[in-house]
Structure 1
Amino acid sequence: MSRSRDKALFIARKNMAGLVYYFQALEGMPFTLPEVQTYLQGITVGGHKVSDQDKLKQQALAWQHLIRIVEEDAFEFTKHVACELNAIVAKDEAAVPGRFRQGAVWIMGTDYAPPDHATLDARFEGLRARVGATRHTFTAGVLVALDMARNQYFFDGNKRTGLLMMNGLFLSKGLMPFSVPAKSLLEYNEKMLRFYETGEEDEMLRFFETQYAREYPGFSFESGA
């Protein structure tokens, strides 16, 4: 294992509470960061619905699973891994977690209609090819997160699954883990609605670059990593 990947995995484990907190905030869940930290220490957090705590558990399990498969050199950008992660992160949410959808879905707040389910396998293979042809891992990862959100491969958990797959690429190549900071969710949601409508990626790429640079000052987006 390379030193950069060792460091990235160490940071992911160390910042697990923050990564899980950002994921649950992305879903509008009610936990604070201290509550997430307490929960991950194995202590029950009072005052919350059992269903919310169950959902929080799945976010933590998904991150833990991702870190483990990267550590074991088992992460690959494949449909199998994406389905595996979705089965965890969207457990008890999606109609059929862990499988590409076999029906129509809608995205609230936009007139954009995700593609017909019959095209999803071909679209994912196209995404795999694009990832392989993209020089910079950071750019490839963001494109994955955007594509999986817009094409809605699953009945639920698409943004989170896309971000997990993005982080699988990041961690495998020694880039630090990243999710959308809770304080930037309004900006993220506004820009994503525009992205759904147009499919234009530049604004979202700049957003991710800005947020990542704030989290990790000095990172070079021109590096081959």
Structure 2
Amino acid sequence: MSTTTDGPVDDFEPERAAAQPTGPAYVRRPVGGTGAGRLDSQRTATPGDDLSGRQRLDLLGIDWDWSGVDITVMGESDGELAVERALTRFRAGLAVIIWDAARLEGNTFTLPEVQTLLDGVTVEGKKIEEQQQVLALNDAYNELDRLVQTGEFRLNKSVSDSLHGLVARYEAIESGRFRGEGSVRGGGSVRLSSGGVVEGRAHGDEGSLLVEAFHDLVDYLNSVDDPRRRALVYAASATRHQFYFDGNKRTAKLMASGILMSAGYDAISVPYSRLYEQNVALDRLFSTNDATSYMNLLADCAR
């Protein structure tokens, strides 16, 4: 089974799991242990950006070069009112953010049609799947708004799962769960826009390897001071790992936007006009694990 979009897509062949799972339950280990079955190297815990490229790749599944990522374009946070200002700008541009996100997935809704649908009026002549995708994006972005506004946003699996459960509820074979956590196995393979398929990360028994990878990522980010860097690393690593069956890029951008807006920076919104640039950056990310160009694109689209 596969999903066709204008860019790299999740491509999976699900298998029905046995009625009673037999794998061991996930037990979280300290950063610096060995990721059994996920990546082969021994890892040494080093704070934040002090990690070497090899250590980054082993721990996070990606590497990058900060000299190729201009975070200054994302601006500076300006005090106590910064979060409310970021949310105000986010709300003012929400229809465009949703339209761009939908178009990047191959949705044919125009911006006026998106605005009409968000006003509660059905748009005639459109596929129900496209309408559902737009409404799901609206629900997820509004929930993100609420979480940031109330101070409830957290960089954790519970928030990621809840946002994914909204944004991909009509598309993912099991929304709100990592691959392998439910009754479906497999998945995670990605078809590149340039052709070919990159195999996905193994999910492990009951999704244990992906859960482990997620906690490794969060543990690493807890030692990175700059929220702009935290957001970019999270978005790239979460996208590369393909935690979910579908909707990974959208969920990763939602979470990264939560990190940014909670610190008074603008949300990430990649315009549809930059689809080709995104595809090239994603092809590089998935084929080489180099996240530099993708992170630079996201930085430029968060202002």
Could you tell me the TM-score, scaled by structure 2's length? 0.68
Q: CA deviation at 1:208?
A: 2.4
Q: Deviations over 1:100-144 (max 9, x none)?
A: 111222111243212110210110011101221222211211111
Is 1:185 aligned to 2:275, yes or no? Answer: yes
Aligned to 1:112: 198
Q: CA RMSD in A?
A: 1.4
Distance 2:300 2:258 in 1: 20
Is 1:34 aligned to 2:117, yes or no? Answer: no
Aligned to 1:44: 122
Q: CA deviation at 1:43?
A: 2.0
Q: What stretches of structure 1 move > 4 A for 4+ residues in a row?
A: none
Q: CA deviation at 1:99?
A: 0.5
Aligned pair count reads: 213
Aligned to 1:12: 90
Q: Which has the higher helix share?
A: 1
Question: Which residues of 2 match residues 77-88 of structure 1 at below 5 A?
Answer: 77-88=155-166
- Whether the aligned pair in 1 keeps the contact of 2:269 and 2:301 (CA below 8 Å) is no
Q: Which residues of structure 2 form unaligned runs of 5+?
A: 1-78
Aligned to 1:136: 226
Distance 2:269 2:84 in 1: 19
Q: Deviations over 1:71-95 (max 9, x none)?
A: 1111100000000000000012111
Aligned to 1:156: 246
Distance 2:241 2:186 in 1: 11
* CA radius of gyration, larger in: 2
- Whether the aligned pair in 2 keeps the contact of 1:145 and 1:162 (CA below 8 Å) is yes
Give me the identity figure in percent.
31
- Whether the aligned pair in 2 keeps the contact of 1:139 and 1:205 (CA below 8 Å) is no
Question: Which residues of 2 match residues 176-215 of structure 1 at below 5 A?
Answer: 176-212=266-302
Q: CA deviation at 1:51?
A: 2.1
Aligned to 2:58: none
- Whether the aligned pair in 1 keeps the contact of 2:86 and 2:261 (CA below 8 Å) is yes
The structure with higher relative contact order (CA 8 Å, sep 6+) is 2
- Whether the aligned pair in 2 keeps the contact of 1:131 and 1:140 (CA below 8 Å) is yes
